[in-house]
Amino acid sequence: MDGKVYRLPTTVEFEYASRGGLEDKIYPWGDEKAKNKVNYDSEGTRQFGQWQKYLQPARSNKPNGYGLYNMAGNAWHLTINLLDPAVTPYKYRILNGPLLEGSRMGGSWSKSKEYLHCGNQSEFSAGIRQPEGIDWHIEHRKLCAVSTGNGGVFLSWALLRTDSRETQFNVYRADSRNHSGFLVNEESISESTSFSDNNLEQGKRYHYYVKSVDPKGKERKRSEWFGITITEESSTAVVSFKPICNIEGEVAPVFGDLNDDGSLDCVARLYNGNHEESQNSGVPVQIEAFSSYGRSMWRKDISYHEYCYGS
């Protein structure tokens, strides 16, 4: 061990490394058939418990163009997949956080050739523990952004108790959260917690995060990500909460952190047309929870019409 601390590669980083400089190829070595090139289950007969029989040394087979061995086959590679939760499909009944980001790539000695394809990935919990003395937690700064029209974005974030008057900030932008992004401010931002980014492509979704900079110019932890799609017109709305059902009447929102991610979520009380001396609307008073990025999390009935005596 070299005493350094490493993180898992993102899915984009691993695919780039596995290709070894080749573009638009099926496998890390090109488009040729996989048989006799890597260690995988070509016949579909290998049992998972036979790993001692089939697993090969790390430097077996030929390296790719970057000198990396076994970027396909032999053993799975653990990666992370940092998706934008606001635009990704729902994941039901997942209670363990790492399952939302964990992934595995490259295939293995016990899988078929389809898993060897560059970019192929499967959901999997990495199960990685944070090393003692190392803090990989992000700084929740309530980062938000609005589109200002004409390819512009205005970003704003919060000061923390650990900040001082000398604290400065750097803003990073990326096309995907699997990329570390690029610094967009020419000089560190001082005496301000806002920034305007311009000349962006309309209709495209960008992702931002902020890093604080200490008086010596050293960057500290990064903030959470914030994604925004560039619109033609300016908007002051940071996020919208749209109930799943068609509601009538009043809506009463309450804000709080429901999923322990450091951002404010919303619980809305939906009266659904129920009020004193009203006819039965056929739908009870309900509460519906929304994530900080506007996705419905759950909805529960509170009471039916005959028990609602006031609004």
Cα separation, 249 vs 266, whole angstroms = 18
Cα separation, 124 vs 121, whole angstroms = 9
Has residue 270 got a pLDDT over 70?
yes
Q: Phi-psi region for residue 206, left (φ > 0), alpha (ψ -120 to 50) or beta?
A: beta
Q: Place 311 in a pLDDT band, splitting at 50, 70 and 90.
A: very low
Q: What percent of the chain has pLDDT over 70?
A: 86
- Cα–Cα distances (Å) from 90 to 29, 93, 104, 280, in that order, read 35, 10, 20, 33
Q: Name the CATH superfamily, with its identifier, for domain 1-135.
A: paralog of FGE (formylglycine-generating enzyme) (3.90.1580.10)
Please, what sign has the CA dihedral across residues 264, 83, 232, 182?
positive
Decide: 279 and 245 in contact? Cβ < 8 Å: no
Which structure tokens are listed for 12?
């984009």
Torsion angle (degrees, nearest 10) of CA 11, 15, 16, 22: -170
The string of pLDDT tens digits covering residues 16-57 is 999 999 999 999 999 999 888 999 999 999 998 899 999 999
The string of pLDDT tens digits covering residues 203-220 is 999 999 999 999 999 999
Q: Output the pLDDT for position 308.
A: 44
Instruction: Over range 265-288, report the average pLDDT.
Output: 80
- Cα–Cα distances (Å) from 149 to 202, 233, 280, in that order, read 9, 5, 45
Has residue 4 got a pLDDT over 80?
no
Q: Output the pLDDT for position 242.
A: 86
CA gyration radius, the chain: 25
Domain boundaries, the chain: 1-135, 144-229, 251-307
CB neighbour class for 107 (10 Å; exposed up to 12, middle 13-18, buried from 19): buried
Q: Which residue has the higher pLDDT, 246 or 217?
A: 217
Tell me the CATH architecture of domain 144-229. Answer: Sandwich (2.60)
